[in-house]
Amino acid sequence: MPDKRFSYSESHLRDLAAQVLDLARAAGASTAEVEVSEGFGQSVNVRKGEVETIEFNKDKGIGVTTYVGQRRGHASTSDFSRDALSRAVDKALAIARFTAEDDCAGLADADLLARDIPDLDLHFAWDITVEAATELARVCESAALAVDPRITNSEGAGVSVQESQFVYANSLGFMGGYPTSRHGISCAVIAEDDSGMQRDYWYTTARAAADMDPVEAVGRRAGERTVRRLNARKLDTRQCPVLFEAPIATGLIASYISAVSGGHLYRKSSFLLDSLGKQVFPGFMQIQERPFIKKGLASSPFDSEGVATRDRDVVKDGVVEGYFLSSYSARKLAMQSTGNAGGNHNLIVPSTGESFDELLKKMGTGLLVTELLGHGLNMVTGDYSRGVAGFWVEDGELAYPVEEITVAGNLKDMLMGIQAIGTDIEVRGSRQVGSILIDRMTLAGS
C-alpha cells in the first residue's frame, strides 16, 4: 500500500524512472541510470522555553545520467512532468556528447547488481505535531538547565523529523528503492562562573522515534557535559597517551576509511597506498562492514549504483582486507566494486573489553579528548594535527578540564599505536566504535 505521508507511491516513482530510461534510450543514449526521490521534514527549536524556529521542508527530484559510449553526462530536475523529464534527458545527452571519453566510465557491472532486496526496517513514521515537538524540546532544555545553577544560558533544544523515499534504476534492468527515516533530539547549553563560559551539547538519533534516548536524559547529558568543562586550564607541551572519547573516535575510523577509499587511492593521494594485505593496526583490531543490520543508520541492500552490498571484514587481525570502491574507482584500480558508491555501510569496530573507566585506568596519566576543532589531516602524508579540548587524567581519574591544546602525530603511527577500544560503543552514525586509547601523541600547549 502507498504511504500516504509521501506525495507519490513507490510504484509511481518506479514508473517515472522507467519513463526516463525509455526517453534516454529513444534519444540515443547507449546506457543510462536514474534516481527519483522525494522527502519531507519538520524541525522545531526552542530556546529559553520559547519557540525560536519551526521549519518544514518538502522536496523531490530526478537525476539522470546518460552515456554515449564512454562519454558521460548528467542533469536533474524537480519537475516530474514528461516534458521536463525529456528536457533533462536531452541536457544530459548534450553534456555527454561534448565530454571526453573515459574508459572507466559506465554503469556498474551487471553481475554485481543486487538481485534480492530485503526489507531492513529503515522507515518509521513519526506523527508528531508541532505542539508536541515543542513540548519535548522544552522538557529537554529544562532538564539541561536544571543540572546546575551555573548553567546560565542556552543555545536551545530541537526535535526533528525526516523521512524520504527513492527509486534507483538503470538500463541493465535493475530497479530498486525503499523509504527511510531519521529522527533526532538535541540540546546545547552554556555554563558560566568566575573562570569564564563553556558550552557543550548532546543528541540522540534513530530510524524510529521509540529507539531514541528519553528527552530528559539528552538534556541532562548536555548539562552535565557543559558544567564539567568549567575552570579549564592549559597544558605545557609534552608527549603522553591520548584517549579519544567514543563520539570523537568515530572520526579516526572515518579518516582511515577515507585513506583506503577509491578516490584517494587512484589519485595516489593517500598515505595508505597499496595497503591491501598489509598490517596497519595492532593484531587485535577488527573492522567489519555489516550492511544488513535492521534499523541501522547506514544499512542498505545496495549502493547508489545498484551494486549489492555484503557483509565483509575490511580489517582482520590488524590487516587491511578490503578497500571502499565504487565502479569508477574500482576500474581505475583494475579491481572490482565493493558496493560502496555513496559511502560505507555500518562499520563495526569490536571492543577489546574495557569499560570507559577501565580505559582511564589503563591510560593512567594522559589526555582525554572530548572535542576536536578545525581540520588538520594531510591525507597524502598522514600528518595529523587538531585543536582539542577535554580533560587531563591522573592516576586513572579525571583531574581537571583542559582547552586551547593541539594534539599532533601521524595517523599511520596513531592507528598502529591503538592500545584498547572501549565498550562505550557510539551507535549514532555509520561507524560504531568505543573510545580509543592511543599510546603516545604530542601535545602542543602554552
Q: How confident is the model over 123-153, as pLDDT tens digits? A: 999 999 999 999 999 999 999 999 999 999 9
Half-sphere exposure of 348 (CA within 13 A, CB side): 12
pLDDT one-digit tens code per residue, 169-191: 999 999 999 999 999 999 999 99
Query: In this predicted structure, which of 4-13, 73-82, 289-298 has the lowest mean pLDDT?
Result: 4-13
Query: In this predicted structure, which of 207-211, 372-376, 378-382 has the lowest mean pLDDT?
Result: 372-376
pLDDT one-digit tens code per residue, 310-366: 999 999 999 999 999 999 999 999 999 999 999 999 999 999 999 999 999 999 999
Q: Does the structure show a pLDDT above 80 at 31?
A: yes
Q: What does the chain come to in residues?
A: 446
CB atoms near residue 155 (< 10 Å): 17
Q: Does the structure show a pLDDT above 90 at 445?
A: no
DSSP characters over 417-429: TEEEEBS--B-SS
For the chain, percent of residues with pLDDT exceeding 90: 96
Residues of the chain with CATH 3.30.2290.10: 10-227
Question: Cβ neighbours of residue 60 under 8 Å, at least 6 residues apart?
Answer: 7, 8, 37, 38, 39, 78, 80
The amino acid at 126: W
According to DSSP, the residues that pair with 156 across neighbouring strands are: 188
How many whole angstroms from its chain centre is CA 101?
33
Q: Does the structure show a pLDDT above 80 at 100?
A: yes
Instruction: Give dist(CA 65, CA 88) in Å, integer.
Output: 10
CB of 319 within 8 A of CB of 278? yes
| 374 pLDDT tier (thresholds 50, 70, 90) | confident
How many whole angstroms from its chain centre is CA 156?
23
Question: Cβ neighbours of residue 146 under 8 Å, at least 6 residues apart?
Answer: 223
Query: In this predicted structure, which of 3-17, 50-64, 104-118, 392-406 has the lowest mean pLDDT?
Result: 3-17
Instruction: Give dist(CA 141, CA 147) in Å, integer.
Output: 10
* Fold adopted by 10-227: PmbA/TldD fold (3.30.2290)
Q: What's the CA angle centered on 412, arms 277 and 402, to 5 degrees? A: 145
Q: Which three cell numbers stand for residue 16?
A: 517515472
Q: Which residue, among 22, 31, 13, 24, has the nearest Cα to 80 in the 3D structure?
A: 13
Torsions phi, psi for 221 (to 5 deg): -65, -40
Q: Which three cell numbers stand for residue 208?
A: 524510529
Instruction: Give dist(CA 247, CA 113) in Å, integer.
Output: 34
The sign of the dihedral angle between the CA atoms of 384, 390, 395, 400 is positive
For residue 341, CA distances in Å to 14, 80, 311 come to 21, 26, 15
Instruction: Give dist(CA 249, CA 425) in Å, integer.
Output: 10
| 5 pLDDT tier (thresholds 50, 70, 90) | confident
pLDDT of residue 2: 40
The helix (run of H) or strand (run of E) holding residue 332 is: helix 327-332
118 class by beta-carbon count within 10 Å (0-12 exposed, 13-18 middle, 19+ buried): exposed
| Single pTM value for the model | 0.93
Q: What is the mean pLDDT of residues 3-27?
A: 92
According to DSSP, the residues that pair with 192 across neighbouring strands are: 197
pLDDT of residue 1: 33
pLDDT one-digit tens code per residue, 111-123: 999 998 999 999 9
pLDDT of residue 359: 98
The amino acid at 396: G
Q: Does the structure show a pLDDT above 70 at 416?
A: yes
Q: Strands across the sheet with 319-320, in order?
A: 319-320, 312-316, 287-289, 347-348, 431-432
| 376 pLDDT tier (thresholds 50, 70, 90) | confident
pLDDT of residue 446: 72
Question: Cβ neighbours of residue 153 under 8 Å, at least 6 residues apart?
Answer: 48, 189, 190, 192
Q: Does the structure show a pLDDT above 80 at 3?
A: no
Q: Does the structure show a pLDDT above 60 at 296?
A: yes
Q: Is 376 helix (H, G, I), strand (E, B) or coil?
A: coil
The sign of the dihedral angle between the CA atoms of 135, 141, 144, 150 is negative
Mean pLDDT of the chain: 96
DSSP characters over 230-270: TT-B---SEEEEEEE-HHHHHHHHHHHHHHTBHHHHHTT--
